[in-house]
Amino acid sequence: MKAKSNPIKRGYLYLEEWFNASFGEAWNPLYHLGPLTFFFFWIALVSGLYLYIFFNTTVDNAHASLEAIVHGHVLGIGSLMRSLHRYASDAAICTIILHIFREFSQDRYRGTRWYSWFTGIPTLWMVVLLGITGYWMVWDELALYVSMGASHLLDVIPIFSDSMARNFLPGNLSDRFSTLLAFLHLLGQPMILIFMLWFHVKRLTHVEISAPRGLAVGCFIALTALSIYKPALSHAPVNLSKIPTELQLDWFYLNIFPLLQYWSPGEVWLLVAGVTTFMLFMPWLPKKDEGIPAVVNLEHCNGCGQCAVDCPFDAISLQHRTDGAKWESEVVVHPELCAACGICTGSCPSSTPFRKVKDGENLKTGIDMPGLTLDKFKQQTDEVLAKLTGENKIMAFGCTHGYDIGTFSAPNVGTLDLFCTGMMPASLAEYALKNGADGVVISGCRHGDCYYRFGNHWMDLRVHGKRKPALRAKVDRERIKILGGADVDGKKLHKQFSAFHDSLGQKTATPSAAATREVSHD
């Protein structure tokens, strides 16, 4: 069944398309929000370490030492580092929020993906706490505002015998407290954050932590330009006998503190707890049915492990052979992790429609999807091919989460939807060409943005002959067209489809020459 779109998803798809037009698909920042977040963390880390070398953590000297760094270092390096530290931290919050909204809008947070969402929400709060302690360390008027607000919030928690706010009365504040803050900001919280990020991606494979070089360089140049144009500045030093009258808040990190002017600390906690709890349980509001997990047919599995390598969600592992076969290993599917995408079927060397079977038997493979077996979609392919009439006959394979290829249907164009184009063996394209099709179209999600993370990418590489199981070199790649698009890309995809259709009647290349050509890829 074709996945239904919604206004939020369509709006985000239009935004992604605008970024594709501006940056290109390879450098679209919306496709690399996770790696960009890591990149901004690295900038914040390096700039923070530079600042710490010269920073004095004592109460009386913290503000003055930071001012000396900002205004006293040669060529403005200190000011640049302080500003990069501030703006990279803000940029990390932006990419995290965009990442959360993107996963929600694309419905990539429910079902087996609940774990990444569930562990991601607390990770966001840890980043916010890390930023709050950073502002606290400066010990300027903003730091006092943050410390008093945090004290009122902490006083509501029944773990302290006395009011935290008393620590900020004249004569009560000690250097031990500022040292504790420095420890939390520089070591304690970052270490906890690293473990939380590890837990966050634990159920994913091939996790990218490095953004494309060009995109990373561009972001760094933008942050540097912003740091030079509008340097980050401190407020006046703390005066415990004076109430600040004007503050420049960083709304990315300090957004809840202004609420304390209108609400009680308990009400603010209730808001934070309510929003957090709601977001934590969103994957079950309502719960998503992923479909039937993949199953292993050991009699057709040689334990090569390609399906385990290609699985986007770490749902397949290898173990010692249990059936006494000559192979050393076998694959095991973990049903609770399986997203039922079928990518493993397309990864299996046994998944080929050319395999001969006895009369009355079904086509088998090493790992298969009960909801749409290899035998079933081979039969469906045969049925579609048998109905094609006219010239330039095309067999189109689509994805339930990509553009609806049913709109391509015509007497000479047959269509078949799969869970993901990644579940399609590359040899199925050759099979269609040998059984009546003049051309084959494979239309998945947008390039670089597969609903199941890597399905269209793995398929692309298989057709190119760069990933096993690969399409044989002798197949005429000019008769295969790989498309990628979402609901809102119909006009563009129909134009590309029409051009491919028209080109089929003009093929004059010999088989030997065609075998050397590259796959057509837009």
Length of the chain in terms of residues written: 522
The answer to whether the CB of 30 falls within 8 A of the CB of 211 is no
Q: Are 302 and 204 members of one domain?
A: no
pTM of the full predicted structure? 0.91
CA distance 511 to 441: 19
CA distances from 346 to 211, 308, 320, 455, 462 (A): 28, 12, 23, 9, 9
Q: Report yes or no on 66 lying in a domain.
A: yes
Q: Report yes or no on 485 lying in a domain.
A: yes
Q: Are 263 and 342 members of one domain?
A: no
Q: Are 230 and 330 members of one domain?
A: no
Find out whether the peptide bond into 29 is cis, omega within 30 degrees of 0: no
Q: Are 263 and 321 members of one domain?
A: no
Q: How confident is the model at residue 231 (pLDDT cuts 50, 70, 90)?
A: very high
Structure tokens belonging to residue 198:
């590890």
Q: Report yes or no on 9 lying in a domain.
A: no
Q: Count Cβ atoms within 10 A of the Cβ of residue 108 and give its class: 0-12 exposed, 13-18 middle, 19 or more buried.
A: middle
Residue 241 has pLDDT above 80, yes or no: no
Query: Which pLDDT score is estimated for 521?
Result: 42
Q: Are 391 and 415 members of one domain?
A: yes
Query: Which pLDDT score is estimated for 290?
Result: 86
CA distance 445 to 264: 48
Q: Are 259 and 111 members of one domain?
A: yes
Q: Are 127 and 248 members of one domain?
A: yes
Q: Report yes or no on 455 lying in a domain.
A: yes
Q: Are 184 and 55 members of one domain?
A: yes
Query: Which pLDDT score is estimated for 179?
Result: 85
Q: Report yes or no on 193 lying in a domain.
A: yes
> What number of other Cβ atoms are within 10 A of residue 203's Cβ?
19
Residue 499: half-sphere exposure toward Cβ, Cα within 13 Å:
13
| Helices 265-280/114-138 angle, 10° precision | 150
Residue 519 has pLDDT above 80, yes or no: no
Residue 347: half-sphere exposure toward Cβ, Cα within 13 Å:
27
Range of the domain at 408: 295-506+516-521
Q: Report yes or no on 388 lying in a domain.
A: yes
CA distance 142 to 246: 9
- At which of 280, 306, 338 does a domain end? 280
pLDDT digits (tens, 9 = 90+) for 403-460: 999 999 999 999 999 999 999 999 999 999 999 999 999 999 999 899 999 999 999 9
Query: Which pLDDT score is estimated for 168?
Result: 61
pLDDT digits (tens, 9 = 90+) for 250-287: 999 999 999 999 999 999 999 999 999 999 999 999 99
CA distance 207 to 454: 11
CA distance 157 to 463: 59
Bigger pLDDT: 59 or 372? 372
Residue 163 has pLDDT above 70, yes or no: no
Residue 464 has pLDDT above 90, yes or no: yes
> What number of other Cβ atoms are within 10 A of residue 292's Cβ?
13
SS3 content of the chain, % helix, strand, coil (to 5): 55, 10, 40
